[in-house]
Amino acid sequence: MKRVVTIFLLLCFGVFGAMAQKGTLTGMFTDKANNDPLIGATMMIKGSTTGTITNFDGQYTIDKLEPGVYVFQASFIGYSPVEQKIEIIADQVVTYDVQLSQDLIGLDEVVVTGVVNQKSALESSVAMTTIKPKFMKEFGAVTTAEMFKAIPGIRSESSGGEGNANIAVRGVPVASGGSKFLLLQEDGLPILQFGDISFGNADIFLRADQTVGRVEAIKGGSASTFASNSPAGIINFISKTGDFAGGSIGTTFGVDYNSFRTDFEYGSPVGEDLKFHVGGFFRQGTGPRDPGYTANFGGQIKANITKTFEKGYARLYFKYLNDKAISYMPMPVMITGTADNPSYSSIPGFDLKHGAMQSAGFLLVNGVDGQGNSRTSNISDGMHPVSSSVGGEFSFDIGEGWNLKEKFRMSFTKGTFNSPFPAQVGAADGIAQDIAGAGYMLSYANGANAGVALSGSEIQNLNGNGLLMRIHLFDTEMNNLNNFTNDIYLTKSIDKLKVTLGYYKAYQKIAMTWLWQTFLTDVSSHGGPRLMNIESADGSFYSENGLISHGTPYWGNITRGYDVGYSIDAPYANMELEVSDKLNVDASVRYDFGSANGYYLNNHTAAVDVNKDGDISPVESSVPTLDNANPNLVDYDYDYVSYSVGANYKIDKDKAVYARYSKGGRANADRLLYTPFLTDEGNTIDGLSADKISQAELGYKYKSPKIGLIATGFYTKISEQNEEFGRSINKEFRTMGVELELVAQLGKLNITSGATYTNAEILKSINSAEEGNVPRRVPALLYNINPSYPLLNGKFILGCSLVGTTKVYAQDDNTIELPAYAYLNAFASYKIVNGLTARVNVNNLTNTLGFTEMEGDTFVDNSTNYFRARPITGTATSVTITYSF
């Protein structure tokens, strides 16, 4: 027994003695410029997985270290990393405080978007822009897509509300809508496989909130070979993963408009090898344009959990989005002067800066579905995405220089798109006679003046402008946009050569029903537009609560239904060679192939008792329904090859030059339907199943403690086939220009800026008269300048953002211009106490009137013209109170 006790005591003392031989490293991370603590910074032993994260006070501790000399790496997102040799002494605490300098332009940050082998932006032969959460807050964007305007090279026509933005890169035209050649991603996988699905643009299903750690944008470069359908670029929203314990809760409310939003997020390590993050938002309100009802209502929740292993990690994540958001369509605008020198202004009675096409008196709509069954829709649903996503990410070192990585996600997605579109704006008497003939009777359909008939003089001066609108209600059901993505690749390191082989497998369902109707309204924005009823002189035609047709005969009855599945397979390969410490080259190739299978339906008209009252009224005598008995087949295959070759030369630790040539493709999806580009057998006309982009880039990167610069020259050729409401598009374009991103730290003054100069031309078109013209809505210059300045020892920060564009042509015929404009956003933030901050943002402080797009109406010089254009929103002020813990 004594012997056992003795052995036990010796073992205990031996263990404690061994523990006593360990050493500890501790210290604090601070910003070198202002001495603020850096929360979530990383201290690691170089070449090891041993390390830690700083806490809320910027402090870190690594204990149980064996005695010896180590090289420690200190890093933090947005700052230049440092390395330091430190000797760990047995049974002692070594203190090492770290001061990091801001990496003003992010050249020291590791690029994870559009690459397979991660390296710093300075060492990568791609044009990369990174947006941090701090800048997202200060830029003052009202919507997610408006934030993209801060990215040089990106043209984001974000005037459509919380979604439905037109997004393009480096002058690549937007021939129809959406982001055809640009892919929107979350955590490295696409939101949707195609960015320009009709009424299902990818940005409708994307929301920026406090769960976003940063946004990375690649323009051109290797985007064409490391993702499908993205030859012009990728914008990737990267989620926080709980690297350190902490979170925030914030409330944002409108000052001059009705809106209330709560954001929350929290993440934390759980033990040494597990961490999680969860967050989201909820909001409700009218939005900055008041339609007279709650137009924005809903939110999202996201969560992820990460398990770290000795040789890799595994991560699972989840997202649920259910958010109604109002959609802004083109609005009636008055234009005078000449086509060469037009003057734009609001129509009397309609405020272009704060008015909307929706109104409280124009909500419930009775109609029929594709089979002629009665249905009721609600315009207040607006853009209503409902999406549940589950995914994962795995990365492991499997030995002998091999690394395996896989990402996958399944999304169950559907929704609605409901928005009134002005198909025609004109003199009330002219539109009324076109609908009901001479001797018509016009009256208000509802409201306080319901049934009150209008006389001739009242019609001529209706609402102070004497105008009516023929409204087409874009009532679209996104029945099924489910999609699946799996991306797996192996990388082998052989000395200074890395070889990657991967396989991308994806599927996208696109099932939609377009159930559009036509209404008659006045032109007003104060409680309107108001529905108008009209009746012919002989009573043979009369409208019902403003409805003049179940369908859109003015456009040839665009009632559609389709259900098509798109498969995508893409093996790819990449080689990267570190020729020297300064020069690295890479080459990648991707072969995309897939198929489209399904059907689309034409429509036919018939008498339908829509309201089930036993009678067929005039508007029920010709109701479009889908021709389910005669489906049009969709059955085609496609394939195309993409490749990219690049080189980066690191002049020194602060400067680099790079060059790249790429050729990429983009498969066409639902916008090929209802065009002559599909045969009766469901095949595509040879060569039209995919569009192509060829691009060359030459860039320069520079960083210092005071200035960061990225300058890229580009040359691009594009071929595109498309369709927009019956208009077939088959064109070739050429763009070239320069993209600049400049960040400067001048004392306490910080300035972030970007600009893109573009020269673009239509090379070929179905309409030969357009050849040689400038593509529509491509400006010669896009720019943004964002200065900020701290006061009161950094507790108070003032800043602004100037966003501008030169004039553009409204259409490819180059007959009328949309004027240049610039607007100013401003913000002020104040740190009340530690962790509690108040911020005021003013979007469009100057209340500027600007337009992002316009329909192709005929312009008459030196007359009053009424067009339909989509304006930016006027001044909108919000206050945010955030507590970080």
752-794 pLDDT tens trace: 999 999 999 999 998 899 999 999 999 999 999 999 999 998 8
Q: What's residue 142's pLDDT?
A: 78
pLDDT band at 356 (very low <50, low <70, confident <90, very high): very high
The answer on pLDDT for 187 being more than 70 is yes
Q: Which range is least confidently modeled, 113-117, 154-158, 207-211? A: 113-117
Determine the Cα–Cα distance for residues 68 and 21; give it in Å rounded to an integer: 11
pLDDT band at 13 (very low <50, low <70, confident <90, very high): very low
Q: For 539-586, how does the pLDDT look when each residue is reduced to its tens digit (9 = 90+)?
A: 999 999 999 999 999 999 999 999 999 999 999 999 999 999 999 999
Q: What's residue 510's pLDDT?
A: 98
Whole-prediction pTM value? 0.90
* Residues 515-537, mean pLDDT to the nearest whole number: 94
Identify the helix (H) or strand (E) that includes residue 459.
helix 456-460
Length of the chain: 885
pLDDT band at 349 (very low <50, low <70, confident <90, very high): very high
Q: For 854-873, how does the pLDDT look when each residue is reduced to its tens digit (9 = 90+)?
A: 998 999 999 999 999 999 99
SS3 state of residue 608: coil
The answer on pLDDT for 350 being more than 60 is yes
Of residues 593 and 136, more confidence is placed in 593
Q: What's residue 17's pLDDT?
A: 43
Of residues 299 and 105, more confidence is placed in 299
Q: For 242-278, how does the pLDDT look when each residue is reduced to its tens digit (9 = 90+)?
A: 988 899 999 999 999 999 999 999 999 998 899 999 9
pLDDT band at 535 (very low <50, low <70, confident <90, very high): very high
Determine the Cα–Cα distance for residues 670 and 301; give it in Å rounded to an integer: 30
H-type alpha helices, 21-153? 133-139, 144-147
Q: What's residue 528's pLDDT?
A: 82
Token pair belonging to 828: 């002020």
Q: What's residue 358's pLDDT?
A: 95
Residue type present at position 149: K
The answer on pLDDT for 348 being more than 80 is yes
Q: What's residue 10's pLDDT?
A: 45
Distances (CA, A) of 840 to 139, 158, 161, 710, 880: 11, 21, 21, 31, 6
The answer on pLDDT for 1 being more than 80 is no
Reduced 3-state DSSP string for 319-343:
EEEEEEECECCCEEEEEEECCCCEE
Determine the Cα–Cα distance for residues 430 and 486; give it in Å rounded to an integer: 56
Distances (CA, A) of 483 to 237, 360, 610: 18, 35, 35
String of b and e for 350-363 (b: at least 16 CB within 10 Å)?
bbbbbbbbbbebbb
Question: How far is the first Cα of the chain from the last one, in angstroms, to the nearest whole number?
Answer: 55
Q: What's residue 102's pLDDT?
A: 79
| Main-chain phi, psi angles of 203, to 5 degrees | -70, -15
The answer on pLDDT for 413 being more than 90 is yes
Best CA proximity match to 118, nearest among 502, 656, 394, 491: 491
| Main-chain phi, psi angles of 779, to 5 degrees | -80, 155
Q: For 35-50, how does the pLDDT look when each residue is reduced to its tens digit (9 = 90+)?
A: 888 888 889 888 777 8
pLDDT band at 171 (very low <50, low <70, confident <90, very high): confident
Distances (CA, A) of 798 to 129, 349, 750, 825: 23, 36, 11, 11
Of residues 603 and 112, more confidence is placed in 603
Determine the Cα–Cα distance for residues 29 and 44; give it in Å rounded to an integer: 13
Token pair belonging to 159: 């005037």
Point out which residues pair with 586 in neighbouring strands: 576, 646
- 423's CB contacts (< 8 A; 6+ apart) are 469, 470, 471, 472, 518, 552, 554, 555
- 362's CB contacts (< 8 A; 6+ apart) are 379, 420, 519, 521, 529, 530, 531, 546
The answer on pLDDT for 682 being more than 50 is yes
Q: Which range is least confidently modeled, 130-144, 471-485, 566-580? A: 130-144
pLDDT band at 235 (very low <50, low <70, confident <90, very high): very high
Percent of the chain with pLDDT over 70: 97
The answer on pLDDT for 133 being more than 70 is yes
Determine the Cα–Cα distance for residues 397 and 337; give it in Å rounded to an integer: 68
Identify the helix (H) or strand (E) that includes residue 62.
strand 59-65
The answer to whether the CB of 868 falls within 8 A of the CB of 854 is yes
* Residues 869-880, mean pLDDT to the nearest whole number: 96
* Residues 350-376, mean pLDDT to the nearest whole number: 92
pLDDT mean across residues, the chain: 91
* Residues 659-679, mean pLDDT to the nearest whole number: 91
pLDDT band at 726 (very low <50, low <70, confident <90, very high): low
Q: Count Cα neighbours of 571 within 13 Å in the Cβ-side half-sphere.
A: 1
The answer on pLDDT for 342 being more than 90 is yes
The answer on pLDDT for 370 being more than 90 is no
Identify the helix (H) or strand (E) that includes residue 3.
helix 2-20
Token pair belonging to 749: 């003054």
The answer to whether the CB of 829 falls within 8 A of the CB of 861 is no
Q: What's residue 52's pLDDT?
A: 87
Determine the Cα–Cα distance for residues 117 and 111; give it in Å rounded to an integer: 9
| Contacts of the segment 408-411: beta carbons below 8 A, 24+ positions apart | 408/189, 408/484, 408/485, 408/486, 408/487, 409/189, 409/484, 409/485, 410/482, 410/483, 410/484, 411/191, 411/387, 411/482, 411/483, 411/484
* Residues 522-536, mean pLDDT to the nearest whole number: 92
The answer on pLDDT for 11 being more than 60 is no
Q: What is the DSSP letter of 619?
A: G
Of residues 387 and 226, more confidence is placed in 387
Q: What's residue 4's pLDDT?
A: 46
The answer to whether the CB of 221 falls within 8 A of the CB of 127 is yes
What Rg value do the Cα atoms of the chain yield, rounded?
30
